[in-house]
C-alpha cells in the first residue's frame, strides 16, 4: 500500500484527489494539508471529501506530511509547488505535480529537486490529453509550415491563468514536432491591425466562461484542407485518476524528472 499525501486537500481538485486515493487499490491516505489558519485544519479527510471518516485529519504542516508519505500529489499554485519540490528532495518522497502556471525557473527547480527524488510533472494528468500531446507532435512533424497551427482552449470563468497549461503544452508539442523554439514562434495575443499571419507561427486563442472543465483543439489549417485534434474533459476525475496512476508508477523508479508520457509509455 503506497502512502499518498495530498497538499491543498481542501480545494475542489484536492478533495477529488482525496476521494481517488481512498478508492484506489494499492494506495492509502497518509494525510493532507491546507494553509495555516484554514478552517479546514483538524477536519477528517474522508468527511471533507464527502465519504466515510478516514481517521486522518487535515494539518497545516507540509514538512510533516512529506516525512510520513511515500508520495505526495500537488495541484496547488507555483509558490506552493516550489516549497513542495524542496521538501520532496529533502525527504526523498515522490512528488506528482499537476500545478499549472509554472515558470521556466519553477521547472528548473523541479529538475534540480529530481536529482534526489522522483518527480512526475505534467500540465495535464489526463491520459487522453497526453495522447493528444503525442499526436500533435507527430502531425506537426509530418506537415510542412504551409499548415498553420492554431490552439484553441476553453475553460470555466474562474480559471486564473491563460493560456492554460495544457494549451501551452500542446504548443510545446507542436514546436517540438517542427524542431523550433515555441517562444520564438508563439502568437499569444492578437488585437487591432496585426497584419497577415506569419508563416510557421503557432497561435493561441483563449475562451473563458461558464463551468467548462476544459476543451482543447489543435488546428492544422493548410491549403484546401484542415485537420483538427480535439479533447474535451467533462469531469475533473480524469485528472485525479491520472495523478494517482503517476504516483503508483513512480514508486519504484530511479530519481529523475518524468512526464505523463513516461507514465503512459508513450516514449
CB 264 within 8 A of CB 122: no
- Establish how many alpha carbons lie within 13 A of residue 233's alpha carbon, considering only the half-sphere containing its beta carbon: 27
Is residue 157 annotated as part of the catalytic site, yes or no? no
**Pairing assessment for the beta strands 71-74 and 58-59 based on DSSP bridges:** unpaired
Annotated catalytic residue within 159, 193, 231, 232: 159
Residue showing cell 496547488: 76
Residues 6+ apart with CB under 8 A from 108: none
Here the cell at position 43 is 477536519
- Pairing mode, strands 27-33 and 58-59: parallel
Marked catalytic residue, from 84, 155, 216, 231 = 155
* CA dist., res. 69 & res. 181, Å (int): 38
Active site residue 155: yes
Query: Is the Cβ–Cβ distance between 194 and 143 less than 8 Å?
Result: no
Q: Which residues are catalytic?
A: 155, 159
Amino acid at each position: 500500500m503506497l502512502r499518498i499525501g495530498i497538499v491543498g486537500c481542501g480545494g475542489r481538485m484536492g478533495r477529488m484527489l482525496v476521494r481517488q486515493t481512498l478508492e484506489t487499490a494499492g494506495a492509502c491516505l497518509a494525510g493532507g494539508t491546507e494553509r495555516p489558519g484554514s478552517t479546514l485544519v483538524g477536519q477528517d479527510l474522508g468527511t471533507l471529501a464527502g465519504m466515510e471518516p478516514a481517521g486522518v485529519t487535515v494539518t497545516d504542516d507540509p514538512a510533516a506530511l512529506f516525512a510520513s508519505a511515500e508520495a505526495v500529489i500537488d495541484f496547488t499554485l507555483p509558490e506552493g509547488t516550489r516549497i513542495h519540490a524542496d521538501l520532496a528532495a529533502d525527504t526523498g518522497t515522490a512528488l506528482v505535480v499537476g500545478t499549472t502556471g509554472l515558470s521556466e525557473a519553477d521547472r528548473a527547480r523541479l529538475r534540480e529537486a529530481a536529482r534526489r527524488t522522483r518527480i512526475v510533472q505534467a500540465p495535464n494528468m489526463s491520459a487522453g490529453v497526453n495522447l493528444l500531446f503525442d499526436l500533435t507532435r507527430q502531425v506537426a512533424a509530418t506537415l510542412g509550415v504551409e499548415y498553420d497551427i492554431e490552439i484553441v482552449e476553453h475553460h470555466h470563468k474562474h480559471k486564473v491563468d491563460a493560456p492554460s497549461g495544457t494549451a501551452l503544452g500542446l504548443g510545446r508539442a507542436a514546436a517540438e514536432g517542427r524542431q523550433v523554439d515555441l517562444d520564438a514562434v508563439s502568437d499569444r495575443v492578437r488585437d487591432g491591425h496585426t497584419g497577415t499571419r506569419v508563416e510557421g507561427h503557432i497561435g493561441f486563442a483563449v475562451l473563458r466562461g461558464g463551468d467548462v472543465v476544459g476543451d482543447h483543439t489543435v488546428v492544422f489549417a493548410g491549403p484546401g484542407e484542415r485537420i483538427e485534434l480535439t479533447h474535451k474533459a467533462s469531469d475533473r476525475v480524469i485528472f485525479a485518476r491520472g495523478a494517482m496512476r503517476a504516483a503508483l508508477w513512480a514508486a519504484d523508479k530511479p530519481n529523475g524528472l518524468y512526464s505523463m508520457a513516461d507514465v503512459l509509455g508513450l516514449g
